[in-house]
Amino acid sequence: MIFAPRPIVAPNAGDRFKKVELAHSLIMHVDIDKHGVAVIRGTRIKVKQLVSLRRAWGWTAEQIRENLPQLAFDQIYAAFAYYDEHQAALEAEMDADDREAERLATQQAPDPALIKRLREASKRT
């Protein structure tokens, strides 16, 4: 499934061209997977993962490209543009992911035997 951009309404021809160009970039680089999640076309990298790198670590597009060399700058900027166009929905998804991670973390009780073995092993090294 390909992201279908919203109808484009712009006050002048220059703005209209920029928005058409943005919509084309999104169509070319962002897909919606079978779970309804926006991903970079041809990868399993989620748009919200790139947004998280930018928000949590302050990474620029250049730093993302350096750490994920399989992505082109067009793909990275398309992910950011998709986020800008769908910020509320993606924020809700990321909040839900955070809540689920927190829930799972609180359900996991540490294994005392494993902790003991790890401490013993670290003393030997």
Stretch 11-34: mean pLDDT, rounded? 65
Stretch 38-60: mean pLDDT, rounded? 94
Q: What does the domain layout of the chain look like in residue ranges?
A: 13-124
Instruction: Determine contact, residues 38/48, Cβ cutoff 8 Å.
Output: yes
13-124 belongs to which CATH class? mainly alpha
- CA 81, CA 64: separation in Å to the nearest integer? 15
User: In the structure, how many helices (H) and strands (E) does the chain have?
Assistant: 6, 2
What pTM, to 2 d.p., does this model score?
Answer: 0.66
Using one digit for the tens of pLDDT, what is the confidence trace for 110-122? 788 888 888 888 8
Instruction: Determine contact, residues 50/94, Cβ cutoff 8 Å.
Output: no
pLDDT attached to residue 23: 61
Instruction: Determine contact, residues 52/22, Cβ cutoff 8 Å.
Output: no
- CA 79, CA 47: separation in Å to the nearest integer? 5
